[in-house]
Amino acid sequence: MPTTRFRRDVQGLRAIAVLAVVVEHTAGSPVGGWLGVDVFFVVSGFLITGGLFRQLRDDGSVRLTTFWWRRLWRLAPAFLLVTAATLALSAWLTPGAFRADATAAAASLVSVSNWYFARIGTDYFAALGPTSAFRHTWSLGVEEQFYAVWPLVVALVAVAVRSRRGVRSVRAVLTTLLVVVVATSLVSAWSSSASDPSVAYFSTTTRAWEIGAGALVACTTDGRRVPARVARVLWSVGVVLVVLGLVSITAAVPAPAPAGLLPVLGTCAVLVGGTVRGTGLPVLENRVTDGIGAISYVLYLWHFPVLVFLTVLAPSATWTSIPIALLLAHATHRLVEEPLRYGLRQRVRARPRPPQRSLAYASAAAAVALAVGVVAVRPVPEPVQLGPVTASGAVRAVQEHLGTALAATTWSGLPRDLQAREDSHTLPRACGSIVDRPAIEDCTFGPATAPHTLVVAGDSLAATWLDALVPWAAEHLPGWRLVAVPTDGCPAIDLPLRGLRPQCASASASALRTIQELRPDVVLLTSKLEDPFGLDGTLRAATEHEFADGTERFAETLRSSTGRLVHLLPPPGGADLRTCRSPFGTPLACVTRTSASWRERAATIHAMAARHGDGIVDSSPLVARDGLTTAVVDGVPVRSDRVHLSRGYAGSVRAALGQLLQQGVPQLR
């Protein structure tokens, strides 16, 4: 059967895909729900290519301006509405993230948001910023780039081939081209998913195989029949593969390949099997999937900003983002999409049923009422209960200030417009850069001829301490020079990590050579503890035993080159001020508990230090009290994101950090 007829199973695929994405974003389950986007890509390639072939058969050519205008008219109105609403809410609810949201919105408007998120994903500090309310638009960018390029390719091939050989030859040439594109893109995706996962996930080139697979199905099935028995088997197997992918593939599997194989193959099988009428089953062909499939685009648009802002307003009621998004999507579909898609004049002539419009208005009102209700009845956080301060001196002062901040119920002394990110490109923090790395002379602080040397090494968490260590050493360590050789984004662990930045190997080797040449009295080592360590060439993260062994091996490479290796445990992570602070909340919304992974891995470092006689200094008392940490102390943001200390806060606790160092490292007294 030609692809001209309406395919209820395709509408069902859309429904399953968008529901999987929405529920996974909200509840974290199904574990592979994020692969619903891959299903969308295949369906888009299939439908757009099928439509282009119909136009070529019926009109003898591809009318590019008509195609592009219809795509714009179909997608832009709802997108502009959601974008305007999202920016307004961002300015009101999360002013600290507004600048980043506005930049992401601009990238989305010109259909390059996928490249925008790929770029900031390669910036270690920017990648740890607040979740953008526009992050989900990356997939729209990929599809819109396909809409811009693929029709032009089809039109050029049609002009070059059809005049001599006919439509069948055009299809043959495009099929060959698609096979090459799909194969090349899949190989690239498989390779870069492990080596550069951020770029691979968002890149158009590594997603082209998914859209190309759908286009290939359209090319090979255009106007052709599949035997009914084969079609039924393909359709059934395809549904099973799609569902299996959505419920079983976790984020530990490199994406888009091999993670996307099951949903892509399953979607292709459904599309081929559905070319024969009557092969579908109720699982994809029913009134519910018909309705959700019809609003899938606007539901996808609404769900993520609704979730992001509800996370700020009522973090314990984020489940309500699903009914709110459904109601908003229904209203947008009825009041915006359909009138503009089919034309106001046609709808007036057709005299649509009043209940539909009334239902749309009722849906919008219900969504607003539900959102207001959630905010109005949001639970008030319990007051923080703290024990007595046991520290002394500067550390005691920091602990007392932390106690006051943890119990605060009002915001004070904090500007409304927080910077989206701090400048990490000026000294001394810039000494951690592995892209534009300063000369070692620029990262040497104190007299070059000093008799003693302290080296600061590790990843970006070591670099954040430089704002405290450099001025403290200048004041309290006469006769010492401080040399900074941290490597941002390169954890101090000897494991083959998936997604490790390409420059890490050379940067770490350079830092090690510097340490070997200097033979310092003390090496102060700091590296992340809380993030998962995905292993290259596998679909899993490192076990705690592997973490311990890898940390042990890395430390061993330093011990022979220094008089004393000292492990400075990194500060535990916390809430990002740009998202936990809102006009409706209190600082209690920014209070978090030290994670279990931080505590477990800190214990591993303690045990290793005890075995080898290394020094160990725990920095957690500078940001946490009784296992609790907050985002603001004395009007100063504690972190610039979720894990990195702000420059202002690091500088404010330098005396306390110095006290901890002198207590734990006799050489520094």
pLDDT at 413: 65
CA 491/CA 565 separation, integer angstroms: 16
Q: Look at residues 261, 273, 604, 660 and name the one whose alpha carbon lies nearest to residue 472.
A: 660
What average pLDDT score do residues 181-205 get?
A: 90
Helices within 60-166 (DSSP H only): 64-93, 98-109, 113-121, 138-165
Is residue 665 within 8 Å of 564, Cβ to Cβ?
A: yes
What average pLDDT score do residues 296-300 get?
A: 96
Given a cut of 50, whether residue 208 has pLDDT beyond it is yes
pLDDT at 415: 58
Stretch (H or E) spanning 445: strand 444-445
φ, ψ (nearest 5 deg) of residue 530: -90, -30
236 domain-assigned: yes
pLDDT at 225: 72
- Which of 261, 294, 327 is the C-terminal boundary of a domain? 294
- pLDDT tens across 229-283, in order? 888 889 889 999 999 999 999 887 888 999 999 999 999 999 998 877 666 678 8
pLDDT at 351: 43
Pairing of strands 480-484, 452-458: parallel
User: Among positive and negative, which fits the CA dihedral 344, 347, 349, 353?
Assistant: negative
Is residue 215 within 8 Å of 150, Cβ to Cβ?
A: yes
The neighbouring-strand residues paired with 444 are 483
Q: Are residues 141 and 210 in the same domain?
A: yes
Q: Are residues 223 and 233 in the same domain?
A: yes
Is residue 375 very low, low, confident or very high in pLDDT (cuts 50, 70, 90)?
Answer: low
Q: Which range among 120-129, 179-188, 191-200, 586-595 shows the weakest confidence by mean pLDDT?
A: 120-129
382 domain-assigned: no
- pLDDT tens across 438-473, in order? 999 999 999 988 999 999 999 999 999 999 999 999
395 domain-assigned: no
- pLDDT tens across 555-607, in order? 999 999 999 999 999 999 998 888 888 777 788 888 999 999 999 999 999 99
397 domain-assigned: no
88 domain-assigned: yes
Q: Which domain holds residue 369?
A: 295-377
CA 432/CA 461 separation, integer angstroms: 9
Q: Is 123 helix (H, G, I), strand (E, B) or coil?
A: coil
- pLDDT tens across 142-153, in order? 999 999 999 999
Is residue 426 very low, low, confident or very high in pLDDT (cuts 50, 70, 90)?
Answer: confident
Q: Provide the residue type at 9 as one letter.
A: D
Q: Are residues 248 and 313 in the same domain?
A: no
For 79, 109, 212, 329, 496, the CA distances from 338, given in Å and listed in that order, are: 14, 21, 29, 12, 52
What average pLDDT score do residues 214-240 get?
A: 86
Given a cut of 80, whether residue 370 has pLDDT beyond it is no
pLDDT at 354: 43
Q: Are residues 481 and 409 in the same domain?
A: yes
Q: Are residues 488 and 605 in the same domain?
A: yes
Q: Look at residues 247, 143, 252 and name the one whose alpha carbon lies nearest to residue 197.
A: 252
Is residue 572 within 8 Å of 594, Cβ to Cβ?
A: yes
Q: Average pLDDT of the chain?
A: 87
Q: Provide the residue type at 38 as one letter.
A: D
pLDDT at 599: 95
Is residue 630 within 8 Å of 405, Cβ to Cβ?
A: yes
Please give the structure tokens belonging to residue 221. 């099935």
Q: Are residues 627 and 615 in the same domain?
A: yes
Q: Are residues 328 and 468 in the same domain?
A: no
Report the percentage of the chain scoring pLDDT > 90. 59
Is residue 232 within 8 Å of 63, Cβ to Cβ?
A: no
Pairing of strands 628-629, 592-593: antiparallel
- Which of 262, 294, 326 is the C-terminal boundary of a domain? 294
Given a cut of 50, whether residue 383 has pLDDT beyond it is yes
pLDDT at 1: 33
Cβ neighbours of 244 (radius 10 Å): 14
Residues in CB range of 169: below 8 A, 6 or more apart: 161, 162
- Which of 250, 279, 294 is the C-terminal boundary of a domain? 294
Report the percentage of the chain scoring pLDDT > 70. 88
Given a cut of 90, whether residue 485 has pLDDT beyond it is yes
The neighbouring-strand residues paired with 568 are 617
Q: Are residues 622 and 528 in the same domain?
A: yes
Is residue 493 within 8 Å of 548, Cβ to Cβ?
A: no
Q: Are residues 261 and 315 in the same domain?
A: no
Beta strands in 561-657 (DSSP E): 564-569, 592-593, 615-618, 624-625, 628-629, 632-633, 636-637
Cβ neighbours of 300 (radius 10 Å): 24
CA 75/CA 89 separation, integer angstroms: 22
Pairing of strands 615-618, 592-593: unpaired
Total domains, the chain: 3
The answer, yes or no, to whether the previous bond of 151 is cis (omega within 30 of 0) is: no
Please give the structure tokens belonging to residue 61. 């050519």
Q: Are residues 435 and 522 in the same domain?
A: yes
Is residue 348 very low, low, confident or very high in pLDDT (cuts 50, 70, 90)?
Answer: very low
Q: Are residues 307 and 437 in the same domain?
A: no
185 domain-assigned: yes
CA 428/CA 472 separation, integer angstroms: 13
Q: Is 648 helix (H, G, I), strand (E, B) or coil?
A: helix
pLDDT at 569: 97
Cβ neighbours of 592 (radius 10 Å): 18
Please spell the DSSP secondary structure of 235-251, one letter per residue: HHHHHHHHHHHHHH--T
Q: Are residues 284 and 329 in the same domain?
A: no
Stretch (H or E) spanning 456: strand 452-458
Q: Is 522 helix (H, G, I), strand (E, B) or coil?
A: strand
Is residue 100 within 8 Å of 132, Cβ to Cβ?
A: yes
pLDDT at 532: 78
What CATH number is associated with residue 537?
3.40.50.1110
Is residue 350 very low, low, confident or very high in pLDDT (cuts 50, 70, 90)?
Answer: very low
Question: pTM of the prediction?
Answer: 0.83
396 domain-assigned: no
Burial class of 178 by CB neighbour count within 10 A (0 to 12, 13 to 18, 19+): buried
168 domain-assigned: yes
φ, ψ (nearest 5 deg) of residue 442: -75, -20
Query: When comparing pLDDT for 400 and 375, which is higher?
Result: 400
